[in-house]
Amino acid sequence: MAMKIGNEKFKDNVNKQMEDTFMRGAVAGAQERLRTRRLDAAEELGNWEEWRSHGEEIRQHTLDHLDYYLQELSENLQKRGGHVFFAATAEEANDYVKGIVKEKRAKKILKAKSMVTEEIGLNAVLEQEGCDVIETDLGEYILQLDDHDPPSHIVTPALHKNKEQIKDVFAEKLEYKQTSEPEELALHAREKLRQEFLQADIGITGCNFAIAESGSVGLVTNEGNAGMVSDLPDTQICVMGMERIVPTFEEFEVLVGLLTRSAVGQKLTSYITALTGPRTAGEVDGPSEFHLVIVDNGRSGILGTEFQSVLQCIRCAACINVCPVYRHIGGHSYNSIYPGPIGAVLTPLLGGYDDFKELPYASTLCAACTDACPVKIPLHQLLHRHRQVIVEKEGRAPISEKMAMKAFGIGASSNPLYAAGSKVASSVMKPFTKDETISKGPGPLKAWTEIRDFPAPNKERFRDWFKQHQKESGKA
């Protein structure tokens, strides 16, 4: 699996997903719970806006000096005995990891949840090498068991599945015989995975934030699986998107707090781990070999452009959790491992407009995403910017729409035309009007009236009433 998770058209996807009533119920319920938790967690701090502004300035500063901080990170990790590989493409990253796997003759590979490894399609590459690759985040584990069902959310990837469906997957793949109670399911996964942890050759994690000053990698989980993956296997590989970095532990702390509060409404999650290179002399657990793979894969193409702020993202999913469109269409509709507003901005930048040009239109520009973002990415503005690029730079808009908008430009900006158009609107629409309502409109109105009634144009335009009103009150 890479970033793109299917070949269906966006509209077909949406129609299919909207029939999944369980998914929609699960998403709506989750949105409501998470919204309250996030707002409470923000309120507790008292001055949330100040925290957001600080988060924003940290992310902007880091991006503006990204070359410096990546250099510093790699120097410091090398001093601690770690290996650093800079990968310009997904292929380079995968090849490097493959090389380590071959060198170690590794068979069993454990993974902690990581979006960037999904993006580069690492699992498939390793499986082709004959490795047993096991996801250890409970949600990812469920999806992997279910014949690699793609994630539908960047924090809770199995959000679209209910516990009955999960029970069925466990029964089929793990000979599970107990109930669908989440506690029992989780316990079963714990027992199964515990054995895997103890036998793994290589552990692979993502990276929430690397810390330049010390060459550290910060990992944030609730389950403790990242700890398992980094403590037990003898070789550890961290894969990070190149923008996921902060200058020092002080900024790390600020962003971790913003992440955990925004993602799950917790002050901190159960496990936050800062790893600095391999284990030191005398230590027993932790890896003897530590590799950091820093991935570009299209990100540098966003730097220095009007879309740079999307790289501020800390993958908390707050925008997804408030999005009224995601609420109804779910994650799989986006055809990308990055769904929701952040996905609709990021996916076309990384994957191109050919496959993803509908995504920026899957928004009402209601700005709930922008409001929720803990690092103040102007998401709705970036969605709008995409539309502008698609229309004006790429010329990909449908002809009929282009004509309509041209007409708009001429009509709306010319008083005589606007006045004439609005004046005759009432009589033009008359054949379609019944009880001052249009329920089956012509032309562009058709799409509207398929769903809702449309008011008939006023018999008297407001401007005509006003003229009369002025006369009556002796002002004109």
Partner 1 sequence: MIQNREAFLANVASRLSRTKVLTERPERNWNYRPQDKTLTDKTQDELVDILRDQCRLIHTELIETDSAALPNVLAEAVAAYGGGPLAIWQDPRYEAFGLREKLQSWPKQGIDVHEWNPSIGYDNISIVEKSNIGITFSDITLAESGTVVLFSGEGKGRTVSLLPNKYIALIPKSTIVPRMTQAAQQISKQVQEGKSIASCINFITGPSNSADIEMNLVVGVHGPVKAAYIVIDDK
Partner 2 sequence: MKVTLFATCIVDMFQSDVGIATVEVLERLGCEIVFPAQQVCCGQPAYNSGYVEDAKKAMKKMIAAFEDAEVIVTPSGSCATMFKDYQHVFQDDPDWRSRAERLAEKTYELTEFIVDVLKIEDVGAKLEGIATYHPSCHMTRLLGVKDAPMKLLSHVEGLEMQPLPNAQNCCGFGGTFSVKMGNISEQMVDEKVDSVTETKASYLIGADGGCLMNIGGRMQRRGKPVKVMHIAEVLNSR
Q: Which of residues 29-58 bind partner 1 (CB under 8 A)?
A: 29-30, 33-34, 45-47, 50-51, 53-54, 57-58
State whether residue 174 is helix, strand or coil. helix
25 is an interface residue for partner 2 by CB under 8 A = no
Of the pair 17, 214, the CB lying nearest partner 1 is at 214
Contact criterion met (CB below 8 Å) for 155 and 263: yes
389 is an interface residue for partner 2 by CB under 8 A = yes
Using CB under 8 A as the binding rule, the residues of this chain from 137 to 156 that contact partner 1 are 137-139, 142, 156
Of the pair 17, 221, the CB lying nearest partner 1 is at 221
Map residues 328-347 to x or -, x wherever contact with partner 2 holds by CB under 8 A.
xx------------------
Minimum distance from residue 42 beta carbon to partner 2 (Å): 14
Q: Is 392 exposed, middle or buried (0-12, 13-18, 19+ CB in 10 A)?
A: exposed
Contact criterion met (CB below 8 Å) for 152 and 330: yes
Minimum distance from residue 81 beta carbon to partner 1 (Å): 9
Of 6, 8, 18, 253, which lies in the binding site for partner 2, with binding defined by CB under 8 A?
18
- Give the count of beta carbons closer than 10 Å to the beta carbon of residue 255: 24
Contact criterion met (CB below 8 Å) for 88 and 296: yes
Tokens coding 303: 């730097």
- Exposure string of 369-381, with b = 16+ CB inside 10 Å and e = fewer, is bbebbbbbbbbbe
Of 147, 175, 283, 435, which lies in the binding site for partner 1, with binding defined by CB under 8 A?
283
Q: Residue 428 to residues 261, 433, 448, 456: CA-CA distances in angstroms? A: 55, 10, 17, 10
Cα 334 to Cα 340: distance, rounded to the nearest angstrom? 7
170 is an interface residue for partner 1 by CB under 8 A = no
CA 72 to chain centre: 28
- Residue 238 marked ligand-binding: no
232 is an interface residue for partner 1 by CB under 8 A = yes
Residue 415 partner contact from partner 1, partner 2, none using kind-dependent CB cut-offs of 5 to 8 Å = partner 2
Half-sphere exposure of 214 (CA within 13 A, CB side): 15
Of 264, 323, 345, 359, which lies in the binding site for partner 1, with binding defined by CB under 8 A?
264
Minimum distance from residue 459 beta carbon to partner 1 (Å): 52
Of 28, 102, 182, 448, which lies in the binding site for partner 1, with binding defined by CB under 8 A?
182
Minimum distance from residue 48 beta carbon to partner 2 (Å): 15
Instruction: Find residue 438's DSSP bridge partners.
Output: 433, 454
Q: Which helix (H) or strand (E) holds 191?
A: helix 182-199
Q: What stretches of 65-181 show up as alpha helix (H) in DSSP?
A: 66-79, 90-104, 115-120, 122-128, 138-145, 163-174
Contact criterion met (CB below 8 Å) for 248 and 274: no
Using CB under 8 A as the binding rule, the residues of this chain from 399 to 458 that contact partner 2 are 401-402, 405-406, 408-410, 412-415, 418, 422, 425, 437, 439, 444, 447-448, 450-458
65 is an interface residue for partner 2 by CB under 8 A = no
Q: Which residues bind partner 2 (CB under 8 A)?
A: 11, 14-15, 18, 32, 35, 322, 324-325, 327-329, 361-368, 370-371, 384, 386-392, 397, 401-402, 405-406, 408-410, 412-415, 418, 422, 425, 437, 439, 444, 447-448, 450-458, 460-463, 465-466, 469
